[in-house]
Amino acid sequence: MIETRDIDSTSNWRVSIIGFGLMGSQISQVFALHGFRVIGQDVDPNQLVRGMNIIRNGRYGLESSVAKGRISAQEAEEAISRITTTTSLDEALLESDFVLEAVIERLEIKREIFRRAGEISSKQALLATNTSTLSIAKIAQGLPANTRSRIFGMHFFNPPQIMKLVEIVKTDETDEGILKSASVVATKLGKTSIMVKDIPGFVANRIGILVFSEASSLLEKGIATVQDIDNAMKLGYGYPLGPFELGDLVGLDTRLRNMQALYEETKDERFKPPSLLRTLVSEGYLGDPKLRKGSKGGYYEFFGLKRHSD
């Protein structure tokens, strides 16, 4: 069993977030608010600027949390002070205790990140991927044994500042000490973790995507409208958001990529992206325009409907 560093004092841990897009920056905010020192990395310097703006001024950013009384202005400033950024992967990984990769869903990119992490991070470092669809074992395939044994999935849900669930995904080779430490980290972040075996889409996404897929089928057949389907799941099953509202929140291009990756992994027709989803994305409807810059809108705008939040 791999012995990781004592996590009682989070300020002693160096956390590397690789990929500073929406999820990477938001996850960085969560770690920093809970006392971890964070270094965010992205190859695009403009993305680092955008990511820090998301942390400061985003819908679930620090300023919003201060305005709602969830944290104090001092706590927000302290969180910002714990975050640094770089375009250098090696600089971000050097002597890291916890690496979390949140880059685009491309196997070869993720594998290269973990190859470098295994070489230059701490030899006891936890190596996590935030992938929502790809096999953890495939990401680790071909890497040295000491690296493979430290790789696991740590799947946060959007927005990670609000959502309480974290899926910890283990392969047959993931060390038990690493998984135990991952669970402790999740608890330190104020999350509830579940332990999941390494199958495509894990637990929550498989169920959630099937709900979205069936909702899409009902919509395309003219059985009910976008609004009525969303209301059915909110009022009938207690969902906080309906399947189309949730799709518009996470981004329809993101939903399309996730479904396509899951379909390619499983060859299961249930996960095949709906034709209407492909149409919306191809025509520039990428989700809620308040959240997705440059988007024409999502399902509600496409069908000329008023959002409940408007």
149 catalytic per annotation: no
Contact yes or no for 184/7 (Cβ under 8 A): yes
Mutual angle of helices 73-81 and 45-57, in 10-degree steps: 160
**Cα 256 from Cα 271, distance rounded (Å):** 10
**Cα 67 from Cα 290, distance rounded (Å):** 19
Residue among 205, 216, 258, 295 flagged as catalytic: 205
**Cα 111 from Cα 284, distance rounded (Å):** 31
Residue among 155, 158, 181, 258 flagged as catalytic: 155
119 catalytic per annotation: no
The amino acid sitting at 32 is: A
Residue among 16, 28, 132, 135 flagged as catalytic: 132
**Cα 243 from Cα 246, distance rounded (Å):** 5
Contact yes or no for 220/274 (Cβ under 8 A): yes
53 catalytic per annotation: no
77 catalytic per annotation: no
What Å distances lie between residue 276 and 124, 132, 215, CA to CA? 46, 22, 11
Q: In this structure, what token pair is assigned to residue 218?
A: 């009902």
Mutual angle of helices 204-220 and 252-266, in 10-degree steps: 110
Could you tell me whether strands 37-41 and 165-170 are parallel, antiparallel, or unpaired per DSSP bridges? unpaired
Residue among 28, 96, 122, 167 flagged as catalytic: 167
The catalytic site residues sit at 132, 155, 167, 205
